[in-house]
Amino acid sequence: MENKYKQNKLWHCFYVLSLFFIFSNASAFDYSEALTKSLLYFEAQRSGRLPYNQRVPWRDHSGLTDGLEQGADLVGGYYDAGDHVKFGLPMAFTVTMLSWGVIEYGKEMASAGELEHALEAIKWGTDYFIKAHTSPNVLWAEVGDGDTDHYCWQRPEDMTTSRQAYKIDENNPGSDLAGETAAAMAAASIVFRETNPHYSHILLRHAQQVFEFGDKYRGKYDRSVGVVKSYYGSVSGYMDELLWGAIWLYKATDREEYINYVINKAHIFGGIGWAITEFSWDVKYAGIQILASKLLSEQKHKKHKGLLEEYRSKAEFYICSCLNKNNGSNIDRTNGGLLFTRRWNNMQYVSSASFLLTVYSDFLANLNQNLSCPRGNAAPEELFALARSQVDYILGLNPKKISYLVGYGLKYPTKVHHRGASIVSYRERKGFIGCTQGYDEWYGHNEQNPNVLIGALVGGPDRDDEFLDDRGNYVQTEACTYNTAPLVGVLAKLNQLDGLHLIGSY
């Protein structure tokens, strides 16, 4: 046992030294600044009554009657992107990823002075989910609808578009939305367990109820809430979200029923059947597979070793595809080195891949293992080096020499496709700006946005590393909460290692 401990310690030292070597040859980016700014972005996306400590000064209260017509208090939560609809599925995924980032790298966030801001970002979402879960078998899925919202170009403070709310219930199921919301609240309950145990308990109770509802009344939420199909349709179905919710509930409760769910439904729900090269708000399999892989290091899961190893093989298919070390299916890269999944909002896949690469790198390092891919092995530091290269590309190490994290660096997108950022601040000009007035006066003008959407990760360049900074180019210039959310944890780790490098250099 003592020899094994020494070996683990030696391997860990080797891993840290390897990362130190990587950083000693890295380009100089201020990851602390990037981390701070990434968390500011979530304050710009807030709906509802803003708190006294709101740090984004160009925003004000909005959506204060959300849910009123339906007899529910649905005030709060987040706008997903540049519009003013509150979509439950991407909002829940955003909160799950912020929570996972804190679970893995909370200490690193604390050392950077940003943990409290991360907790605030999570709680703004979970407070809304508690409101939206009005009874055990009712969960409000959406407020507003994309069609009417897109007719207008207004600040959120001036909204005249529909605030119709849509729900899932026993007669209108939505297991994918329920599973992801359960995952978000379960993960957040872990985050708040020590600092706010009462709130943690409330979240866990809601998570268990929502999961039970989603599992009992199965169905895709976009069949029950038809207005969401054109915006956040559930292409992958609901089986991945139910596994995702179950594994997060297991992590939060340590109850056998949830790990048994993940094991017993591994085959029929595709957990060990789907080898995927994407991790996103819609497709959760790679995240599930990595969480299941991490259970292998715990002695109590020895009886599940066979199936957990199958989960791990699929997790490693995803990681190998990022590294371009699978025989057939790999994630494409641009000439500049950016992982490229698809043209519309590609950065969401880059940030989520960077996070999973970082987490799996740590997992392998803790086991003293390398990754075995069809086209060669990879040491843990190689995985992390790829994650860092993606973040550095985002921050400006790319052919266009532009930072795709808004507000960071000397050159970044200034015409982000975002209603609130593109129109003069409500606090500066309180006069009402109408539905089409925003299009006439603000959408089409060639000047940069009057408000900087700090910390937003825009859709990013195309396959040829080309990028057009234009408000009408929403494929590339619109940002989403789930783009930035996975980046937070990676930036925290990068900042910590950057600090070690600086100490070493000193």
Positions annotated as catalytic residues are: 417
Residue 135 DSSP code: B
The amino acid at residue 491 is: L
Helix axes 2-24, 347-367, angle to 10 degrees: 140
Residues 6+ apart with CB under 8 A from 372: 316
Closest CA to 351 of 465, 469, 457: 457
> Which residue carries 């604390």 as its tokens?
110
Tokens linked to 235:
């292409």
The alpha carbon of residue 139 and the mean position of all alpha carbons in its chain are separated, in whole angstroms, by 21
Amino acid at 369: Q
| Residues across the chain | 506
For residue 222, give both structure tokens.
Answer: 């976009």
DSSP 8-state symbol, 469: -
Residues whose CB is less than 8 angstroms from the CB of residue 170 and which lie 6 or more positions away in sequence, other chains included = 137, 217
371-373/165-168 β-pairing: unpaired
Q: What tokens were used for 496? A: 């910590």
Cβ distance 319 to 370 under 8 Å? Answer: no
Strands 165-168 and 332-333: unpaired
Phi, psi of 79, rounded to the nearest 5 degrees: -75, 135
